[in-house]
Structure 1
Amino acid sequence: RNKDDKQKEDISADGEAKGGIFSFVREKTIQEKHVDDILFELEMELLQGDVAMEVATEVVENVKQNRIGKKIKRSNDITEYTYYALKDAVEEIISIPGKSMTDMIEEKKAQGEPLVVMFVGINGTGKTTTIGKLANYYLKKGYTPVIAASDTFRAGAIEQVTYHADNVGVKIIKHQKGSDPAAVAYDAVEHARAQGKELVLIDTAGRMQTNTNLMDEMKKIKRVSKPDLVIFVGDAITGNDATEQARKFNEAIDIDGVILTKADADSKGGASLSIGYVIQKPIMFLGVGQGYDDIMEYDSEWMLNQLFSEDDEVAVEDEA
């Protein structure tokens, strides 16, 4: 499955082969003697599509294993078989099970507690915008979120998250620039408890001045606010970079899930294919545009269809 997904995504990046990586396989008539060449070509397509090396290798190996011992007489059968083996390989890679955030809010609500979610990731990936989108998403579902401005290192970060909170219509808990980020997060959790709010969304710094260690700061915020979920926000367009960042955050503070922004513009699909596989954590939401409503819960079936669709055209705006 993994292979399929990646393949498809990669091809669509070229804009030549319609339908992505899969059509690349389907457009050829494969014969037994061609299979290794096709698999090599597939691996190259995946790597060009910014799919992590270990994931590309896994996809190709999976297709190879699936084909061993299969006696296929007609070349069109081989083509179909290779296509479906690829799709299966990709599906396996993108289907990492995880609880939905909505279910988790309900579980915590039953205990009379808010769900506390801490967002981590490098600056510029759309983290703060994503927090605004999620506040809006859950407000519309009838919950009352509160946002914590725990990126206290830049005045601009506090202003930005306040702007989103005001636009969406939720309370923001903030201290002045330079104050303790963990204290802001703690105050937001206490506020939610006191006011019966069901969801706390904690924004955190994505960079530090040289004298402060980013990961140490994240660990401290995590220790103090005791989040139920630590979510890494990555930019789908950056592909391998996002996957590497996720790996680093996961090693340092053990993230629980991923939100990919700019997924609508992720023509190659390398990030969506790689990130879950590499850190073995589920993708929870995808940012698919600039507006507050442009967020969707991740669905591996939907992603598989995107990766293997017949149409390359994605008419969604890039996310801010």
Structure 2
Amino acid sequence: MFESLKKKFSRTSDKLEEELKEEAQQENNLDPDEKPQKKRSFFSFGRKKEEPKEEEATEQLALESGEDDSGEEVEESSLLSEETTDSEEITKDEPKEEKKSFFSFGRKKKEEVEEESAEEAEGESAEEAEDDSEEEREDKKSFFSFGRKKSDDDGESSGGFFSFIREKTISEKHVEDTLWELEMGLLEGDVAMEVASEVVDSVKQNLVGKKIKRSNDITEYTFNALRDAVAEIIDIPGKNMTEMIEEKKAQGEPLVVMFVGINGTGKTTTIGKLANYYLKKGYTPVIAASDTFRAGAIEQVNYHADNVGVKLIKHQKGSDPAAVAYDAIEHARAQGKELVLIDTAGRMQTNTNLMDEMKKIKRVANPDLVIFVGDALTGNDATEQAVKFNDAIDVDGVILTKADADSKGGASLSIGYVIKKPILFLGMGQGYDDIMEYDAQWMLNQLFSEDEEEVSESE
């Protein structure tokens, strides 16, 4: 999901690094003595940020027990000094101290202590004495330098690491071109104009004034600035449908939910998915076939109702859709059912007469929730449709269909923020079980994934 958007985020970091490195070269401010090291990738900072305590504890355990993070024992020659230390039978002057210096080298690199000490030199000689291959020695250095699992080397890229002789401060001139490129990229990805501007302004505010010493600092600061900006955009507080069902149940009433949107977005299928979802939670839904105008609409919703095993209330084609909704609500009250799902005819947001008909259904049914169903793949169109429906009947929330196939992410990022209403569910496939309650933290993790195959450095 959201591969295109993630690449744009990563490119923002790369672009800023290019700007600062070019300026540093002109100022002769690149450290010529800096040894080539592996550069941390953009998305690897999400892992470090989310689980710092666990990684630090794991590294400390490895240092004390002689095990690496994967739980494998290191070579006996490397453990000898540790074992003798535990038995308190060795002094600081004894020869195995070289191996201990190797571990201390890793701790210093993790804490970013930049000094060339005698212990570091002993650590390097200890590496050579290990009789390992060049590649194995490099793996160990990467492991201890960053205090991460060996498997996490996939989160790094070779080359590109640099540091400055004199500390630099990120200024507005450094980010101007970079953020303009980010804003254009967001707009190309169907992100709404006001959302793109909000993201860019937030990132600029967070980056300008930051002091940096090395390229990994730039990547980390950019990652955090983008993540914080997006977190504010996608986390819109709102009603929880399951909690609302419980509240209405306590009052002896069903929760009435009306679904609106244009034809072709997957509205009727979504109703079938929600009926199935709440059946499995122990509730008893009923569906109202209030789309009485479109040819085949009643048969379509009847098909889904039969498949998931719920009652369908329907009238003849062409009958009053508001009357169908009313009858479904009365049926739910009489039978003690907790949920009424009202299907309505798809209306184009520009058709005034049909929008007025939908307002009538709302007046008669008096729903507790009005949910706009939009197609994530339509990007800005879905956002514009949501705005029109919200203006006409005041929707309470959004369900986005086909979110699993959305590479751009424009609608997912924009729609809730623009209409100031929460996304309630995401359609994640074609089966009845392929629906999930929206979780802003989950969405944030999707946008800032650690899957390096989806991030192209050349893009």
Could you state the TM-score of these two structures normalised by the residue count of structure 2? Answer: 0.63
Residue number in structure 1 paired with 2:83? none
Whether the 8 Å CA contact 1:20–1:312 is kept in 2: the answer is no
- C-alpha separation in 2, matches of 1:311 and 1:293: 25
2:10 alignment partner, SS class: helix
The structure-2 alpha-carbon separation of the partners of 1:271 and 1:286, relative to structure 1 and needing over 3 Å to count, comes to: same
The structure-2 alpha-carbon separation of the partners of 1:224 and 1:272, relative to structure 1 and needing over 3 Å to count, comes to: same
Structure with the greater alpha carbon radius of gyration: 2
Within 5 Å, give how 1:24-35 maps onto structure 2.
Answer: 24-28=11-15, 29=17, 31=20, 32=170, 33-35=173-175
1:289 alignment partner, SS class: coil
Stretches of structure 2 that go unaligned for 5 or more consecutive residues are 21-169, 455-459
Residue number in structure 1 paired with 2:8? 21
Residue number in structure 2 paired with 1:57? 197
- C-alpha separation in 2, matches of 1:127 and 1:156: 14
Whether the 8 Å CA contact 1:143–1:198 is kept in 2: the answer is yes
Deviations 1:151-198 (A, max 9, x none): 111231111111000000000001111100100000000000000000
Structure 2 residue 438 is the aligned partner of structure 1 residue 298: yes
Deviations 1:255-301 (A, max 9, x none): 00000000000111000000001000000000000000000000001
The structure-2 alpha-carbon separation of the partners of 1:261 and 1:305, relative to structure 1 and needing over 3 Å to count, comes to: same
Post-superposition offset of 1:97 = 1.1
- Residue 289 of structure 2 aligns with an amino acid whose one-letter code is A
Match of 2:429 among 289, 306, 316: 289
Whether the 8 Å CA contact 1:173–1:184 is kept in 2: the answer is yes
Post-superposition offset of 1:312 = 7.8
- C-alpha separation in 1, matches of 2:453 and 2:424: 24
- Residue 180 of structure 2 aligns with an amino acid whose one-letter code is F
CA RMSD in angstroms, aligned pairs only = 2.0
Residue number in structure 2 paired with 1:227? 367
- C-alpha separation in 2, matches of 1:123 and 1:211: 13
Structure 2 residue 147 is the aligned partner of structure 1 residue 160: no
Within 5 Å, give how 1:262-273 maps onto structure 2.
Answer: 262-273=402-413
- C-alpha separation in 2, matches of 1:211 and 1:272: 25
- C-alpha separation in 1, matches of 2:222 and 2:304: 47
Within 5 Å, give how 1:160-309 maps onto structure 2.
Answer: 160-207=300-347, 213-309=353-449
Whether the 8 Å CA contact 2:347–2:355 is kept in 1: the answer is no
Within 5 Å, give how 1:83-122 maps onto structure 2.
Answer: 83-122=223-262
Match of 1:82 among 216, 222, 225: 222
The structure-2 alpha-carbon separation of the partners of 1:160 and 1:95, relative to structure 1 and needing over 3 Å to count, comes to: same
- Residue 13 of structure 1 aligns with an amino acid whose one-letter code is S
Whether the 8 Å CA contact 1:25–1:83 is kept in 2: the answer is no
Post-superposition offset of 1:75 = 4.0
Post-superposition offset of 1:69 = 3.4
Higher relative contact order (CA 8 A, sep 6+): 1
Greater Cα offset, 305-314 or 249-258 = 305-314
Deviations 1:301-320 (A, max 9, x none): 11011111133889xxxxxx
The structure-2 alpha-carbon separation of the partners of 1:298 and 1:214, relative to structure 1 and needing over 3 Å to count, comes to: same
- C-alpha separation in 1, matches of 2:203 and 2:453: 27
The structure-2 alpha-carbon separation of the partners of 1:312 and 1:241, relative to structure 1 and needing over 3 Å to count, comes to: farther
- Residue 166 of structure 1 aligns with an amino acid whose one-letter code is D
2:198 alignment partner, SS class: helix
- C-alpha separation in 2, matches of 1:277 and 1:25: 22
Post-superposition offset of 1:26 = 4.1
Structure 2 residue 179 is the aligned partner of structure 1 residue 39: yes
- C-alpha separation in 2, matches of 1:212 and 1:68: 48
Residue number in structure 2 paired with 1:123? 263
Whether the 8 Å CA contact 1:158–1:174 is kept in 2: the answer is yes
Stretches of structure 1 that go unaligned for 5 or more consecutive residues are 1-7, 315-320
Post-superposition offset of 1:40 = 1.3
Match of 1:66 among 185, 202, 206: 206
